[in-house]
Amino acid sequence: MARVVVDVMLKPEILDPQGQAVANALPRLGVTDVTSVRIGRRIEIDFDGEPDLDRAREIADKLLANPVIEDFTVSLAEVPAETA
């Protein structure tokens, strides 16, 4: 089995109110050295057999990301061993 990870993030020029809300809450935790928080999606796609990055890129483009406001990256990932 092989896993492909698709990371979908809003483009830098698009406002991210959810991330901004987290950033605004940080001083209450005593954290003052954070300049930016951006929240996106991580999608793990498990392939039966060979991982197919081109196929994953097509899935990301058509199903997972909105290319008008989002960028995505596709990468291979280690599948963690099953633990009992």
Among 15, 17, 35, 84, indicate the residue that binds a second copy (CB under 8 A).
35
Helix/strand/coil for 9: strand
Report CA-CA distances (Å) from 65 to 52, 81, 82. Answer: 18, 29, 30
Interaction between residue 17 and a second copy (CB under 8 A): no
Count CB atoms within 10 A of the CB of residue 73.
Answer: 11
* CB of 21 vs a second copy, minimal distance in Å: 9
Whether residue 77 contacts residue 44, with contact meaning beta carbons closer than 8 Å, is answered with yes
Binder among 13, 33, 54, 78 for a second copy (CB under 8 A): 33
Binding site for a second copy (CB under 8 A): 1, 7-9, 19, 22, 25-26, 29, 31, 33-49, 52, 55, 58-59, 62-64
